[in-house]
Amino acid sequence: MSKEEVIDYKKTKKRLDGRKMDEIRPLSIKVGVIPNADGSAYLEWGQNKVYAAVYGPREALPKHTQNPYKAVIKAVYRMASFSVPDRKRPGPNRRDHEISKVLSEALEKVVFVNQFPNTEIAVMVEVADSNAGSRVACLTAAACALADAGIPMRDLVSAVGVGKAFNEIVLDLNKDEEDAPDAVDVPLAIMPTTGEIVLLQMDGLLTRKEWDAVAALGIKGCQQVYEVQKKALTERFTVEELNKKAVEKAVGVEKNTKKEVVLEKKVDKVDKKEKESKTEKKGKDSKSKKVRK
Amino acid sequence: MRSTVLEYDISKVIELARVGKRVDGRALDEMRDFTITLNKFENAEGSAIVQLGETQVISGIKMLVDKPYPDNPNEGAISVGAELLPLAHGDYEYGPPSMDEIEVARVVDRGLRESKAIDFTKLCIKEGEAAFVAFFDFYAVNSDGNLFDAGSIAGIASFLNAKIPKLDEENRIVKQEYAGKIELKRIPLLTTFVKVGGRILVDPTYIEEKAAEARFSVATTDDGFMSAMQKGVGGSFTLEEVNYMIDTGFKVANETRKKLLKMVGKK
C-alpha cells in the first residue's frame, strides 16, 4: 500500500480485494485426502492452503507425556519453506510453537479426552501456501480431520480471523489488511452449536465498543465456516460416497484375489508337474527295479 | 498389533516377489501412474504436487539473493531439502532431520546438480557480489514408498516452471514480480529399485521398501547420461543386477520423462 494515499474503508465501502466488510474469502474443504492417516482434510481459504492429518488415539510416547485421566491432544503447526513470500527456514520457530499450543488447547475442549486415558491424539497441520489467517485455516481443517478420524467430539471447532483495517471492522483479513497502519487481528474460534469460545488472540488497538462489533462479526463468520465444514463432512459420509468406497474396496480385493487365484493355479500346476515328474520317476524307478529283477 | 500385520505383509511381498509377482499386480519393471499439479502454491517461485500411486509430495522453489561462494564467484547455487512429515505416515516423527530425510534430499540433489541441467552461471547476478540461490524443498504428505522418484519428479516439474524474481537497482528481490525463467539443459530423473526375494522391483511401495534387502537409485538424463547413483539398505547387488537396473532405469525414466513433459506442457 502506498503511504501517500490514505485508504478509508468507511469511504470506499468496499475492500481492497472487492469483498464486503462481512464477507470471507472463498473457502473449500476436502475431507479424507491422506490415506495413511486416521483422519485428514485439505483446506483452501483464499490463498491459504493447508493439510491436516490425525493419527490416534495411540500410545503417548515418551511415557511421561501420558495422562492417566485423559488423552493428550498434540497439535503441531508447521509451515513449508515455500509457503511465505520470503523463504521460511526449516524447523519450528517460536511462532510455530505458540500456534501449536493454542491449537491443541482449542481442540482439547471438543474431544471427549476422558475416554482415552494414556493416549495421544496427534493432529498435524502443514501450511503449503499462506496469506494471513493461516492459524484459523489450520484449526478449521484440524477439526474436520478429527471428525473424519471418527474421534468422539462434543462439537466441531469453527474458526475465523476478524479485526479492524483501514478504519472499519472487517471479517477474514488478508495480508494487505493485516499490514494496514491501524490493523487489529483477532483470531477467533468457537464451538458452533454452543457459541463457546475456544481460541481467542488479539494484537492491535481496539476500543471497548469496537470489540463488541468485532466479537459479533467474528461469531457470525465462524457460523459461515461451520456450514462449509458440515458440507465437507456430509459429502464424505453420504450413503453414495460410502457405497462407492465399499465397492472400490471390494473391487480392489477382487482384483487381488483374482491375481492370487491365478497365482495359486500356477503354483498348483507347478505342484502337479512336480508330482507327475515324481510319479514318473517313481514309475521309472520301479520299472528299472523290475528290469533289474 | 501393527508390527504383526507388518510382518505378515512383508512375508507376503517376499513370497510373491519370488515368483515374479507384486501385491498390487504390477510387473516388476512397472512404475506406478503419477499425476502432477502445477503452481498451486502462489508464494513459491515454482511449485508442484506429485501423486505417485498413493505417495503424495508437495514441493516448491524459493529463490533468494546471496553472496556467491568464494571458490565460484560467478555462480549461483541450488539447495534441496526433504521432510517426511509426520502427517504422511504414523512412523514419522517431528525433530531434527532424520537420516532418511537427509539421504533422500541429497540423492535428489545430486541427480539434479551433477547432471549440469541448470547453468549456475546464469543464476549469478554480479560476480563475487550477488547470486541467486534456488531452494527446492519437498514434503511427503502421504507416504507409500519411493520418495526418491516422487521427489525427483517434483523437482523437475517445479524447476521447469520456476520464475526468477525481479530485482531492483540494489539487487533486492521485488516481491510478486518476475523476470525470466530457469532453463534446464537436460532432464535428469531418478529411478529407484529394491531387491526383494532375490528379484529386482522398480518403484517400491512402502511395504516393498520394508521388505527390501537392498535399494538402488540411478539418475538418468534424456541424452544418455547417468548423473547420480546410490545404493542403500544393508544388502548387496551383483554387478549384473546393477547393470540391469541401470538399463531398466534408462528405459523407465524415458517413459516417465515423456509423461512428465506432457503433463507440464513442455511437449
List, as one string, the DSSP characters of B62-86: EEEEEPPPTTSTT--EEEEEEEE-T
Q: Is any Cβ of chain B less than 8 angstroms from the Cβ of A75?
A: no
> Residue B96 and residue B85: Cα distance in Å, rounded?
12
Top residue of A28, A34, A40, A81 to mutate, by most chain B CBs within 10 Å, is A81
Per DSSP bridges, beta strands B55-66 and B46-52 are antiparallel
CA B73-B75-B78 angle, to 5 degrees, is 130
Residue of B110, B118, B116 lying closest to B219 (CA atoms): B110
> Residue A20 and residue A17: Cα distance in Å, rounded?
9
Residues of B in Cβ contact (< 8 Å) with A81:
60, 62, 81, 135, 137
Q: Are residues A92 and A146 in the same domain?
A: yes
The verdict on a CB contact (< 8 Å) between A129 and B141 is: no
Q: Are residues A201 and A264 in the same domain?
A: no
The verdict on a CB contact (< 8 Å) between A263 and B21 is: yes
Distance from CA of A219 to the nearest CA of B (A): 29
Is the separation of the CB atoms in A92 and A79 below 8 Å? no
* Neighbour count for residue A210 (Cβ, 10 Å): 14
Among candidate residues A237, A261, A282, the one where a domain is terminated: A237
**pLDDT tens-digit profile, chain A (293 residues):** 444 568 899 999 999 999 999 999 999 999 999 999 999 999 999 999 999 999 989 999 889 999 999 999 999 999 999 999 999 999 899 999 999 999 999 999 999 999 999 999 999 999 999 999 999 999 999 999 999 999 999 999 999 999 999 999 999 999 999 999 999 999 999 999 999 999 999 998 999 999 999 999 999 999 999 999 999 999 998 877 777 777 766 665 555 444 444 444 444 444 444 444 544 444 444 444 444 43
Task: Identify whether A244 is part of a domain.
Answer: yes
Task: Identify whether A222 is part of a domain.
Answer: yes
Q: Which residue has the higher pLDDT, A161 or B234?
A: A161
> Residue B13 and residue B21: Cα distance in Å, rounded?
8
- Total domains in the fold of chain A: 2
Task: Name the residue range of residue A129's domain.
Answer: 9-237
Q: Are residues A89 and A187 in the same domain?
A: yes
Q: Are residues A158 and A49 in the same domain?
A: yes
The enclosing domain of A183 has a CATH number of: 3.30.230.70
Q: What are the distances in angstroms from CA B165 to CA A12, B22, B102, B134?
A: 33, 46, 28, 11
Q: Are residues A169 and A53 in the same domain?
A: yes
> Residue B84 and residue B98: Cα distance in Å, rounded?
9
Task: Identify whether A3 is part of a domain.
Answer: no
* Neighbour count for residue A264 (Cβ, 10 Å): 12
Q: Are residues A251 and A220 in the same domain?
A: no
> Residue A76 and residue A54: Cα distance in Å, rounded?
10
Tell me the β-bridge partners of A77.
A125
Q: Are residues A127 and A24 in the same domain?
A: yes
Among candidate residues A208, A237, A266, the one where a domain is terminated: A237
Residue of A219, A138, A46, A185 lying closest to A177 (CA atoms): A185
CB proximity list for B41: less than 8 A, separation 6 or greater: A49, A80, A82, A83, A128, A129, B47, B58, B60
Q: Are residues A255 and A116 in the same domain?
A: no
Q: Are residues A77 and A179 in the same domain?
A: yes
The verdict on a CB contact (< 8 Å) between A78 and B85 is: yes
Among candidate residues A237, A257, A274, the one where a domain is terminated: A237
Q: Are residues A59 and A26 in the same domain?
A: yes
Is the separation of the CB atoms in A126 and A82 below 8 Å? no
Tell me what pLDDT residue A98 has.
94
> Residue A31 and residue A48: Cα distance in Å, rounded?
16
> Residue B36 and residue B48: Cα distance in Å, rounded?
6
Cβ pairs bridging A and B (under 8 Å): 109
Distance from CA of A216 to the nearest CA of B (A): 32
Question: Is ipTM beyond 0.90?
Answer: no
Q: Are residues A60 and A195 in the same domain?
A: yes
Grid-cell match 531398466, residue found: B248
> Residue B107 and residue A49: Cα distance in Å, rounded?
28
> Residue A153 and residue A145: Cα distance in Å, rounded?
12
Task: Identify whether A4 is part of a domain.
Answer: no
- Considering only CB atoms, B62 lies closest to which of A37, A87, A92, namely A87
Phi-psi region of B224 (alpha: psi -120 to 50; beta: other; left: phi over 0): left
Q: Are residues A274 and A157 in the same domain?
A: no
Task: Identify whether A97 is part of a domain.
Answer: yes
**pLDDT digits 0-9 by tens, B25-65:** 999 999 999 999 999 999 999 999 999 999 999 999 999 99
The verdict on a CB contact (< 8 Å) between A82 and B16 is: no
pTM of the model: 0.84
Task: Identify whether A80 is part of a domain.
Answer: yes
Class of domain B27-263: alpha beta
> Residue A10 and residue A218: Cα distance in Å, rounded?
19
The verdict on a CB contact (< 8 Å) between B60 and A83 is: yes
